[in-house]
A and B are shown apart, each in its own frame.
Chain A
C-alpha cells in the first residue's frame, strides 16, 4: 500500500471513483504504450492513486519497468534528457555528449523492456521538454507508456501544445471531494472516525479539509495523536477543537 501523507498510520484507502479510474487508466496506457495525464489541484490524491496503480502493475505485470521523473522548476530539454538517462542507466550521465547522441542513447534504452515513464509535477515542463518526450515516445523503436501527473496548471500547460491533443490517450482530472461524499468516505478512512457525527465531519471539512485528501490526512494525523493522549478511541468536539488549535487556529480557534 502506498504511503499516506505525513506517514499517517492506520488509514484506509478510500475507493473514490478517480482512485479506481487511475488503475484502469494506467492499465490502458501500459497495454497500448500510450500517453496519458492525471491532473488536478494539490492534495486531491493523484500521487497516492498513481503509486497505488503502480504497485498494482508491479504485482500483475512483473516484466514492466517503471521510471519516475520529477523535475525542478523550469527544466531545460538537456536536463530532461540527462535525468531520464540517469534514471534509465542508474549512473550519472557522461559529459560531452551532444543532443543527438543523448537522444539516440535514450531511444536505445527505451526500446526494451516495456516501460512506464511517469513524469510528476508535469506543469513545470516547457514546450521544448514536452517536444523531447514526444519525440522519444513517437519513435518507432521505443516501447514505453508515458504518464504525465501534474498539479495546478498542468492541464493548461499540456493543452497549449497542439501535438498532445491527438496523442493523449487517457486523461483523468482530479477534483476535491464534494461535501455530500465526505461523511461516508471519511468514516471508513480511519478508526477514529468510525460512527462519527455527520455534522461534525462536515464542519471539519468546511473548516480544514476542503475536500482535499492531503488536508484530511494532516487533520487525521493530529486528531489521532490527541485521541491517544486523551485515551479516546474516536474523535469528539473537544478533540476536533484541540486539533484546529494545533493546525493553525492557535488559541483563538
Chain B
C-alpha cells in the first residue's frame, strides 16, 4: 500500500434518502482537476478501475486487451490521476460498495494525492451497507463527514472556460488555414510565393517567414556562443521546437524555408529532397505526435505502453535504449528527457538490468556505450511534445508509487523486472499500441523490410527523423576555401 500523502483525505458526503439531486449535481461537477465516477452497479474491483479510467478519459477496454488485473488497472488509474493533477475524486453510490472496493478507492486516492468525496446514503436499509468511515480510516485515510450542502459549498460547479479565445489573434492569418504552398527551393521560395499567392496571404506568409528567420538566427547565435552547433543540436531544434510541433504541413514548409535561409548565412546547408515523400511532402515535415495523436496515446491505460509509444513516435526510433532511461532522466511533468553523455565516451555504462556480482570476474556484465544510443544521449535535454507530457508524467508517477527511486529504470521487464532488458517487450507494446491507434511507422515493422528493422542497434537509425523527412545537413563553412591562402 502506498504511503499516505499529505493531501490525500476522504470526505463522506451524506445524501439522506439517496436523493436524485446528488446525481444531478454530480453530473455538473467534472472539470479541471476533478473527476466524477459513477460505479457500475454490482461491479467488481476491475469494473471500478474501468469506471475510474473512463472518467480520466482512458480507454477502459485496454484493461481486458492488456490482460491487466484489477490491482494493476487501479494503479495505472492512480498514476494517470496523479499526472492529470486530479485533486478531487468524486464517487457516487458509496453506500452500495463493499469494503474491498472502498479499500481500492482509498489506495487510488493515496496514489493520486487527492481528496475522495464519497457520496453515501446512510438510510438505504440494505444489509450489505458497510460503514465507509471505518473502512477508509482503516485504509489509512483521514476521514471527515460533510452534509450535502457543505459538499456543494466546498465543491462548486466549475465555470466553463471560454472556448472562443483564439491564441492566434496576433498573427495576420490563422496559422492552420494555409493552402498548399509551392515547393520551390528556398532561394526561389519567396519569389514563387509572391507570384502565386493573393496579396494578403503572401503578407501573412512573409510575416511568418521573417519571424522564423529571426528565431533561427537567434538560436544559431546562442549555439555559436556555446561553441557552434552540431548535427545533434540541429536535429533537436528541428524535431522538438520548429518542424515537429508545426500545426500543419504548409506552416512546417514556411518554417523549413526560413530555417534554410537563416542557416545558409551561418555556413550550414540544410537540404530538403521532397521527391520521395509522396503526394503531400510538406505534410511529412511535421512531427507524428499531433494533438489528435497525443489524445489517442493518452487514452491508453497501460502507462508503460503509452509512454514508450510517445517516446518512440517522437524520436522516430524503435525502443532501442529505452531500458537505459532512469526516472531522474525524465522531468516530473513529462516535458523533458535528458540522458547526459558521460565524460569519457569510451568508459561504457552498466545497464540497469546488469548486476556487478561476486562472479563478475568469470561472467562480467556487458557494458553499453552511449555512442550506440545517440538518439537518447543528447547534448541538450530533449523537449517532448506537449500533448504527451501527462502520458510520461503518469508513467513516472506510476513507477514512483511502486517504490522506484530516482536512479531506478523508468521501464521494467514485465515478468523479470530488474533482471532483463525490457526493450523487446516494450517494442511489442509499442507495436500493439500503434496498431490500436492506426499508426504504422516504418521503423517499427515487425519483419525485416526495406525500411529496416527497428530492433537493429545501428547508428543510422538515430538520424532517421531527418532522413524520414528528406532532410540532410551539410556544413559549408569548413569546406569553403580560405580566400587569403594562395592557390
Out of A99, A134, A165, A166, name the residue touching B42 (CB < 8 Å). Answer: A99
A162 near B121 (CB under 8 angstroms)? yes
A132 within 8 A of B: yes
Chain A, interface size: which category?
A: 20 to 34
What residues on A are CB-neighbors of B304 within 8 Å? none
A112 within 8 A of B: no
What residues on B are CB-neighbors of A134 within 8 Å? 41
Q: List CB contacts (< 8 Å) of A86-110 with chain B.
A: 98-101, 103-104
A131 within 8 A of B: yes
Residue of B nearest to A135 (CB): B41
A131 near B42 (CB under 8 angstroms)? yes
A60 within 8 A of B: no
A100 near B47 (CB under 8 angstroms)? yes
Minimum CB–CB distance from A247 to chain B (whole Å) comes to 44
B478 within 8 A of A: no
Q: List CB contacts (< 8 Å) of A161-187 with chain B.
A: 161-163, 165-167
A98 near B46 (CB under 8 angstroms)? yes
B20 near A138 (CB under 8 angstroms)? yes
Selected interface stretch from B122-130, B154-162, B206-214, B384-392: B122-130
B96 near A99 (CB under 8 angstroms)? no
What residues on B are CB-neighbors of A138 within 8 Å? 20, 23, 38
A9 within 8 A of B: no
What residues on B are CB-neighbors of A161 within 8 Å? 18, 124
Out of A99, A104, A139, A163, name the residue touching B18 (CB < 8 Å). Answer: A163
What residues on A are CB-neighbors of B27 within 8 Å? 140
A98 near B38 (CB under 8 angstroms)? no
B40 within 8 A of A: yes
A100 near B41 (CB under 8 angstroms)? no
What residues on B are CB-neighbors of A104 within 8 Å? 54, 60
Out of A98, A128, A132, A163, name the residue touching B121 (CB < 8 Å). Answer: A163
A77 near B47 (CB under 8 angstroms)? no
B17 within 8 A of A: yes
Chain B, interface size: which category?
A: 20 to 34
A138-B20, A165-B17 known; A100 vs B51 contact (CB < 8 Å): yes
B34 within 8 A of A: no
A103 and B41 CA atoms in complex are apart in Å by 9
B44 near A99 (CB under 8 angstroms)? yes
A166 near B20 (CB under 8 angstroms)? yes
B416 within 8 A of A: no
B38 near A139 (CB under 8 angstroms)? yes
Minimum CB–CB distance from B184 to chain A (whole Å) comes to 51
Highest count of chain B CB atoms <10 Å: which of A77, A104, A138: A138
What residues on B are CB-neighbors of A135 within 8 Å? 38, 40-41
Out of A99, A127, A140, A165, name the residue touching B43 (CB < 8 Å). Answer: A99
Residue of B nearest to A76 (CB): B42
Residue of B nearest to A133 (CB): B41
A100 and B73 CA atoms in complex are apart in Å by 14
Q: List CB contacts (< 8 Å) of B49-100 with chain A.
A: 50-51, 54, 60-61, 64, 96
A138-B23, A162-B121, A162-B124 known; A100 vs B42 contact (CB < 8 Å): no
Minimum CB–CB distance from A140 to chain B (whole Å) comes to 5
Minimum CB–CB distance from B384 to chain A (whole Å) comes to 32
B21 near A166 (CB under 8 angstroms)? yes
Q: A77-B41, A132-B41, A138-B20 are in contact. List 13 more A-B contacts (CB 8 A).
A: A98-B46, A98-B64, A99-B43, A103-B40, A128-B41, A131-B42, A135-B38, A135-B40, A138-B23, A139-B38, A161-B18, A162-B121, A162-B125
A-B pairs with the 5 shortest C-beta distances?
A163-B18, A166-B20, A100-B47, A162-B18, A100-B50
Q: Which B residues have a C-beta under 8 Å from some C-beta of A?
A: 17-21, 23, 27, 38, 40-44, 46-47, 50-51, 54, 60-61, 64, 96, 121, 123-126
List 21 contacting pairs A-B, 8 Å CB cutoff, sorted by A: A98-B44, A98-B46, A99-B40, A99-B41, A99-B42, A104-B54, A128-B41, A131-B96, A134-B41, A135-B38, A135-B40, A135-B41, A138-B20, A138-B23, A138-B38, A162-B121, A162-B123, A163-B20, A163-B121, A165-B18, A167-B20
